[in-house]
């Protein structure tokens, strides 16, 4: 197996945190977004969508989409379960994973992609109004998320799950996107601080806003 990843990017980081939580080590190869390596023929043959992560299996098949890759590893190494074990747990984890991915990570990424100079050659055209339109979406989601976290240690139940991973990378990515995490969101701060103590999360956090 070979994992194509890219430094400082939230989606490959989801898979990397997931693998560390499971104690799985596989070879990986870095693809440089800044140099547009993912748009070159060599990587386009691996993933025509030109995004990372991609997982090349031993028979040459390629899996893309962070959560699909995580699901593959969950099946290969069921313990510790990060997608839930009971019917109810699996549904709640799926629900929160999707909410955090669609409601938070996508909005934060839209701010970054459409406002940060680093993305000027990648996101063409950059639409600053789209970045501005997504900022209030991030704020509104986080207010709701803060209420949810008031009485729970993890996003989707009594145990750490893939939903926490999506939430963590989304909030981390607010720094490069230059979005401040409101200090009044005390439950989000508490949860995010606790997640940051996990060895899987402590490795390679994104750098501060440039």
If one asks whether residue 62 binds ligand GSH (CB under 6 A), the answer comes out as: no
List the beta bridge partners of residue 28: 3
Binding mask 117-136 for ligand GSH (x = CB under 6 A): -----x--------------
Q: Among 5, 28, 66, 97, which residue interacts with ligand GSH (rule: CB under 6 A)?
A: 66
List the alpha helices (DSSP H) in 61-176: 66-76, 87-99, 106-115, 128-148, 162-172
If one asks whether residue 55 binds ligand GSH (CB under 6 A), the answer comes out as: no
Residue 116 in contact with residue 177, Cβ under 8 Å? yes
Number of residues that bind ligand GSH (CB under 6 A): 13
Cis peptide bond upstream of 125, omega within 30: yes
For the CB of residue 88, give the shortest distance to ligand GSH in the complex, in Å: 25
Q: Among 4, 5, 11, 172, which residue interacts with ligand GSH (rule: CB under 6 A)?
A: 11
Q: Among 7, 37, 56, 65, which residue interacts with ligand GSH (rule: CB under 6 A)?
A: 65
Residues with Cβ < 8 Å from 126, sequence gap 6 or more?
Answer: 113, 114, 115, 119, 120
If one asks whether residue 51 binds ligand GSH (CB under 6 A), the answer comes out as: yes
- Burial state string for 138-159 with b = 16 or more CB within 10 A and e = fewer than 16: beebbeebbeebeeeebbbbee
If one asks whether residue 33 binds ligand GSH (CB under 6 A), the answer comes out as: yes
If one asks whether residue 10 binds ligand GSH (CB under 6 A), the answer comes out as: yes
């Amino acid at each position: 197996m070979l994992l194509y990843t890219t430094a400082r990017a939230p989606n490959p980081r989801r898979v990397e945190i997931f693998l560390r939580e499971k104690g799985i080590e596989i070879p990986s190869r870095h693809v440089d977004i800044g140099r547009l390596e993912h748009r070159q023929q060599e990587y386009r043959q691996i993933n025509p969508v030109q995004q990372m992560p991609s997982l090349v299996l031993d028979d040459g098949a390629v899996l893309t989409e962070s959560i699909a890759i995580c699901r593959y590893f969950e099946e290969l190494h069921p313990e510790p379960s990060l997608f839930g074990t009971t019917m109810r747990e699996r549904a709640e984890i799926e629900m929160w994973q999707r909410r955090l991915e669609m409601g938070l990570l996508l909005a934060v990424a839209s701010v970054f992609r459409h406002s940060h100079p680093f993305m000027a050659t990648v996101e063409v055209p950059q639409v600053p109004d789209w970045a501005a339109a997504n900022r209030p979406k991030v704020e509104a989601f986080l207010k709701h998320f803060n209420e949810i976290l008031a009485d729970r240690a993890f996003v989707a139940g009594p145990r750490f799950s893939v939903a926490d991973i999506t939430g963590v990378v989304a909030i981390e990515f607010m720094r490069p996107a230059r979005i401040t995490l409101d200090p009044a969101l005390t439950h989000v701060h508490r949860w995010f601080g606790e997640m940051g103590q996990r060895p899987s999360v402590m490795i390679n956090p994104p750098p501060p806003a440039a």
